[in-house]
Chains A and B, each alone.
Chain A
């Protein structure tokens, strides 16, 4: 089955700097890659996703890139703000197979003011 590895497990950045989180996946059939943000004690919330027919997607300060050949994808957060502090999870799934998400282990991001 699918295996998703996520790095780093913790990331501390100064406010205004950029944060980058990287994930690799094992199943070449995976074609949907969402990123979830989970604040302490809250439910995971989708912040951005990308499908395998595109290489990059941006939404304001957040961008995701996908390299299908290397089977890795990354989340980029620019101009970080204290409210970006949270745990971020990457995931992968095969849309035609029910879209069951396989998650990475998570990255705890701390943005220091």
Chain B
């Protein structure tokens, strides 16, 4: 079946502009995660959604970052007033909850802030 998809694959934006990144999880996966991977670095947790529960926003680096998940499926990550340090690959992952814990990653969105 279809895996996790993300759009756009690449985004170049000017400093100070807002951007929206989209994630389509695997159908039926109730858990959805956003991570950030800076150049040559490991992955950093940003936010987690599980069903209808309040999201875990503990990894968001500043109040310029927000995310929502509509209808328990598609999620958008919004970065307001982008800064150069926001440049990174933003990865989305989804998983089942319960016996299956594997997180399946999407291809990522490469964000470049000029």
- From 61 to 110 in chain B, residues with beta carbon under 8 angstroms from any chain A beta carbon are 91, 95, 101-108
- For residue B48, which residues in chain A have a CB less than 8 angstroms away from its CB? 98, 100
B84 to chain A, nearest CB (A): 22
B28 at interface (Cβ–Cβ under 8 A)?
no
- From 25 to 51 in chain B, residues with beta carbon under 8 angstroms from any chain A beta carbon are 31, 33, 35, 41-45, 48, 50
Assuming the contacts A34-B102, A89-B42, A89-B43, asked whether A99 and B31 have C-beta atoms less than 8 A apart, the reply is: yes
B101 and A32 contacting across the interface, CB-CB below 8 Å: yes
B36 to chain A, nearest CB (A): 11
A98 and B50 contacting across the interface, CB-CB below 8 Å: yes
Q: Considering the chains assembled together, what is the distance between the CA atoms of A102 and B48 in angstroms?
A: 13
B59 at interface (Cβ–Cβ under 8 A)?
yes
- For residue B58, which residues in chain A have a CB less than 8 angstroms away from its CB? 1, 100
Q: Considering the chains assembled together, what is the distance between the CA atoms of A102 and B91 in angstroms?
A: 14
A45 and B105 contacting across the interface, CB-CB below 8 Å: yes
B110 to chain A, nearest CB (A): 10
Q: Give chain A's interface residue range (CB within 8 Å of chain B).
A: 20 to 34
Assuming the contacts A98-B48, A100-B33, asked whether A43 and B42 have C-beta atoms less than 8 A apart, the reply is: no
Q: Considering the chains assembled together, what is the distance between the CA atoms of A79 and B23 in angstroms?
A: 37
A99 partner, pick from B44, B59, B101, B104, beta carbons under 8 A: B101
- For residue B44, which residues in chain A have a CB less than 8 angstroms away from its CB? 103
Which residues of A line the B interface, CB within 8 A? 1, 6, 32, 34, 36, 42-46, 49, 89, 91, 95, 98-106
Given contacts A95-B101, A99-B103, A100-B58, 18 further A-B contacts (CB under 8 A): A34-B102, A43-B91, A43-B105, A43-B106, A43-B108, A49-B101, A49-B102, A89-B43, A91-B43, A98-B50, A99-B101, A100-B33, A100-B56, A100-B59, A101-B33, A103-B44, A105-B42, A106-B42
